[in-house]
Amino acid sequence: MDWGVHLPHLGRDVGRDSLTKFVQTAEELGVHSGWTSDHVCWPAEFDSKYPYSSDGSFPAPAGLGWLDPIGTLLFVAGCTNKIRLGFTVLILPYRQPVATAKQLATMDVLSNGRLILGVGVGWMREEAEVLGMPWDNRGKRSDEQLEIFESLFLDETPSYDGEFYSFPEVRFEPKPIQAPVPVWVGGNTRAAFRRTARFGHAFHAAFEPLETVKEEWRQVREECELLERDPEDLTLSLRMFLDPEGTMEPAKSIAGSVDEMVDTIGQTQEIGVSHILVDPVARGGVDGRLDALSSFMGDVASQIT
């Protein structure tokens, strides 16, 4: 099992020192990867429903700081040496693809090949509108962006002529160190499962009960077979709350005693999960979350093969 952790780039006390301490300690603890989420800004009132809460509410209180996910990981690349750098997930429709590709290639080069390109199509129409980006056909647009990334990252003189994006032959250097950059696809729709089968190196589920993840993973594998792709080539990743005090929804959490946590992780392994991204929930701000992570890695993760 590989362990990822959501980095403290959002909250009321985000900053350089807390982020540096957190990620460097995570690296020392043997954490495989550090992850950032993607929101830029959104209207004070909106109608879009958050797909990972039971009532559709978005758990982001007023006054919440939220650092840019790409900028945060570029910073993390400069103060770490081994931990991989992932997005959970980067919302492709929020951004112009060629400029985004340059940022991603820069990150991979400066981190010496540690980027994990977690991608999704988003859920908040109003945020895209604030950013001046189109929301129509966002799935098709996202697929074209992934094709563009592939061309820019791998072709000597990349070009693209699609339904939504096009550009002539260009020079795009330097290329990422990784060839190809690993793409981890998030989402809970059939279109997301097809996108995983077509472009993905992993399916990245988030905050869902294990029975739901199991069914989604079955559909991902089914889509692979339709494309005559071996589903064994894919990794199954799951983002869960690390919740020692049991304050979050149990079906979406690793919670309770050490034995209970080990048992929960065993259940994820039974459905095929081989990477868990923990999102620490604890009192005491960033230090409290870091204490929870340290205890988890020492007492729980050390027992998992």
- Helix residue ranges, H only, 97-173: 97-110, 125-130, 138-154
Mean pLDDT of 219-238: 98
Burial of 139 (0-12, 13-18, 19+ CB in 10 A): middle
Mean pLDDT of 6-15: 93
d(CA 186, CA 205): 6
Mean pLDDT of 31-53: 95
CA dihedral 135, 136, 140, 142 (to 10 degrees): -10
Residue 39's nearest CA partner among 143, 123, 105 is: 123
pLDDT class of 256 with cuts at 50, 70, 90: very high
On average, the pLDDT of the chain sits at 97
Q: What is the pLDDT of residues 156-212, one digit of tens each?
A: 999 999 999 999 999 999 999 999 999 999 999 999 999 999 999 999 999 999 999
pLDDT class of 305 with cuts at 50, 70, 90: confident
Mean pLDDT of 230-240: 98
pLDDT class of 251 with cuts at 50, 70, 90: very high
d(CA 107, CA 228): 32
Q: Which two tokens mark 115?
A: 């980027």
Report if pTM > 0.95. Answer: yes
Q: What is the pLDDT of residues 117-133, one digit of tens each?
A: 999 999 999 999 999 99
What is the pLDDT at residue 81? 98
User: Which element (helix H / strand E) includes 215?
Assistant: helix 210-226
What is the pLDDT at residue 61? 86
CATH numbers and ranges of domains, the chain: 2-303 (3.20.20.30)
Q: Which two tokens mark 4?
A: 């990822």
% pLDDT > 90, the chain: 97
Name the phi and psi angles at 83, rounded to 5.
-65, 135
Residue 65's nearest CA partner among 36, 27, 91, 92 is: 36
Mean pLDDT of 259-272: 98
d(CA 14, CA 6): 13
% pLDDT > 70, the chain: 100
Q: Do 2 and 277 touch, CB atoms closer than 8 A?
A: no
What is the pLDDT at residue 63? 85
